[in-house]
């Protein structure tokens, strides 16, 4: 031995401890609607702040109406969104029109605010293919049903933007359960390896159907999983619209500047059941926990914040509520007017040209359906 360097003792836990200490929740607006992080305040005009509030109120009403329409049998598959407005809407609010959204099944509100007509959201819920015929110029996919599949696709959309020189990002959403999927890791890793402009949002609403987030992983935060892919990760108060907006805006800027993807974990809560298909949250959540999270409500804190600034009032709120109810009524009418879905419609959209076997079957079903 040429030199007498002293080796550090083996400490396999050191790196993990360092990582765990790094991940603190990013917040701008506390539960009382007070700004606790002035330096991080996003640059939003009064009109933009009001618009964000308008969207949250509107979407809360949409959720309430969707649940009751489902109970009346007038909507089909529906995954309630109340509680997650800041995570969903403030993240979409930070996007530009050319950005591409790859949603999970609860992420219908982001699609609507990105341009999907409301009646099509209702058609999706009813199981009609026209709900998924996204209009030209609206850059979204229809809601993904397989948990996490959208994560690997987002890496591809982002790489496509990079190769095309498009100044846009791919943003994708999953939940705390989704962060356990292989596709979650492959998606963030691919995007990182290609330095692709992607934003990966995990809305950690604490329960994957009934399984609590504590059972998903030994990782203390989902945000720290970004470290494995070598990309930035941040944990955000997902009930704070300003923090969510600031985090997504920052990730978008870095992505557009060629700095690659970001993983954003938003801490949030769904007040309702997993879906309207028979899930009963009282089987796995306590009323105390529900109450604790309802105190963090994004609408309540943002309302307080805006009222103090003289930007919001009961009158304004009622206008939004009336508008939402009116729009929903109209959209349901429009959805009711959609033509009855036929098996022959579905056959004709399988391929660019129908192959032999489908052609034969088409004739059989055409005869059946014309009876």
Site string for another protein, 78-117 (x = CB under 8 A): ----------------------x-----------------
**Per CB under 8 A, 5 contacts another protein:** no
Of the pair 18, 146, the CB lying nearest another protein is at: 146
CB of 310 to another protein, least distance (A): 44
Contact with another protein (CB under 8 A): which of 26, 105, 119, 190? 190
Nearest partner of 146 among 109, 102, 190, 113, judged by Cα: 102
- Least distance (Å) from another protein to the CB of residue 276? 22
Distance CA 69, CA 119 (A): 13
**Phi, psi (degrees; rounded to nearest 5) at 269:** -160, 135
Q: Can you tell me which of 165, 355, 370, 371 binds another protein, judged by CB under 8 A?
A: 355
What is the crossing angle of helices 241-256 and 46-71, to 10°?
A: 110
Q: Which is nearer to another protein, 115 or 160 (CB)?
A: 160
H or E segment at 20? helix 14-22
Among left, alpha and beta (phi > 0; psi -120 to 50; other), residue 83 is left
Q: Which residue pairs, CB below 8 angstroms and at least 24 apart, start in 113-117?
A: 113/55, 113/89, 114/138, 114/139, 114/140, 115/140, 116/140, 117/331, 117/334
Q: Is 165 in the site for another protein (CB under 8 A)?
A: no
**Does residue 154 bind another protein (CB under 8 A)?**
yes
Is residue 350 within the footprint of another protein (CB under 8 A)? yes
Q: What is the DSSP string of 97-151?
A: TTSEEE-BTT-HHHHHHTT--HHHHHHHHHT-GGGG-PPTT--BPPPB-STTHHH
Task: Report angle CA 193, 102, 85 to the nearest 5 degrees.
Answer: 115
Of the candidate residues 134, 228, 311, 338, the single one contacting another protein (CB under 8 A): 134
Asked whether the beta carbons of 199 and 171 are under 8 A apart, the reply is: yes
Number of residues interacting with another protein: please give it, by CB under 8 A. Answer: 41
Taking CB under 8 A as the criterion, the residue among 46, 48, 97, 182 binding another protein is: 182
- Residue from 6, 7, 357, 370 in contact with another protein (CB under 8 A): 357
Q: In the bound complex, what is the minimum distance in angstroms from residue 190's beta carbon to another protein?
A: 5
Q: Which two tokens stand for residue 20?
A: 């765990």
Which entry of 274, 285, 301, 303 is annotated as an active-site residue? 274
189 lines the binding site for another protein (CB under 8 A): yes
| 151 is a catalytic site residue | no
Residue 64 as a binder of another protein (CB under 8 A): the answer is no
At closest approach, how far in Å is the CB of 98 from another protein? 11
CB of 60 to another protein, least distance (A): 29
Tell whether residue 173 is a contact of another protein (CB under 8 A): no
Closer of 141 and 267 to another protein (Cβ): 141
Smallest distance from another protein to CB 360, Å:
9
252 assigned to active site? no
Alpha-carbon distance values, 160 to 27, 101, 226 (Å): 33, 14, 22
- Residue 284 annotated among the catalytic residues of the structure: yes
Instruction: State phi, psi for 236 to the nearest 5 degrees.
Output: -120, 145
The answer to whether 346 contacts another protein (rule: CB under 8 A) is yes
> Quick one: CA dihedral 249, 251, 255, 258, positive or negative?
positive
Query: Does residue 314 interact with another protein by CB under 8 A?
Result: no
Q: Residues 253-292: x/- map of binding to another protein (CB under 8 A)?
A: ----------------------------------------
| 234-271 exposure pattern, b = at least 16 Cβ within 10 A, e = fewer | bbbbbbbbbbbbbbbbbbbebbbeeebbbbbbbbbbbb
Spatial distance between the Cα atoms of 126 and 77, rounded to a whole number of angstroms = 7
Which residues have a catalytic role annotated?
A: 270, 274, 284
Which spans of this chain sit near another protein (rule: CB under 8 A)? 100, 129-130, 132-134, 141-142, 146, 149, 151-161, 163-164, 166, 170, 182-183, 186-187, 189-190, 193, 346, 349-352, 355-358
């Amino acid at each position: 031995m040429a030199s007498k360097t002293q080796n550090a003792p083996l400490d396999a836990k050191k790196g993990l401890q360092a990582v765990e200490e790094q991940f603190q929740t990013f917040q701008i607006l506390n539960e009382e609607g007070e700004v606790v992080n002035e330096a991080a305040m996003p640059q939003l005009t009064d009109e933009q702040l009001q618009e964000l509030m308008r969207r949250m109120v509107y979407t809360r009403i949409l959720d309430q109406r969707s649940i009751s329409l489902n109970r009346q049998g007038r909507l089909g598959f529906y995954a309630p969104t109340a509680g997650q407005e800041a995570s969903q809407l403030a993240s979409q609010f930070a996007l530009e029109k050319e950005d591409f959204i790859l949603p999970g099944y609860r992420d219908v509100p982001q699609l609507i605010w990105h341009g999907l007509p409301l009646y099509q959201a209702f058609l999706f819920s009813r199981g009609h293919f026209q709900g998924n015929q996204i209009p030209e110029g609206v850059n979204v996919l229809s809601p993904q049903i397989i948990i996490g599949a959208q994560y690997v696709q987002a890496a591809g959309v982002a790489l496509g933007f990079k190769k095309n020189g498009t100044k846009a990002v791919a943003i994708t959403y999953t939940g705390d359960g989704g962060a356990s999927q292989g596709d979650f890791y492959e998606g963030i890793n691919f995007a990182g390896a290609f330095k692709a402009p992607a934003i990966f949002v995990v809305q950690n609403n604490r329960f994957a159907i009934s399984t609590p987030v504590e059972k998903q992983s030994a990782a203390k935060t989902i945000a720290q999983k970004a470290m494995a892919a070598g990309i930035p990760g941040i944990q955000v108060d997902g009930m704070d619209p300003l923090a969510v907006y600031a985090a997504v805006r920052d990730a978008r800027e870095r992505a557009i500047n060629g700095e690659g993807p970001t993983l954003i974990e938003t801490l949030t809560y769904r007040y309702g059941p997993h879906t309207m298909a028979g899930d009963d949250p009282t089987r796995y959540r306590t009323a105390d926990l529900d109450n604790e999270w309802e105190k963090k409500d994004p609408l309540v804190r943002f309302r307080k914040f805006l009222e103090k600034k003289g930007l919001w009032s009961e009158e304004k709120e009622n206008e939004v509520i009336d508008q939402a109810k009116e729009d929903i009524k109209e959209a349901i009418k429009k959805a009711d007017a959609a033509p009855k879905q036929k098996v022959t419609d579905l056959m004709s959209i399988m391929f660019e040209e129908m192959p032999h076997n489908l052609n034969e079957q088409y004739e059989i079903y055409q005869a059946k359906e014309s009876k």
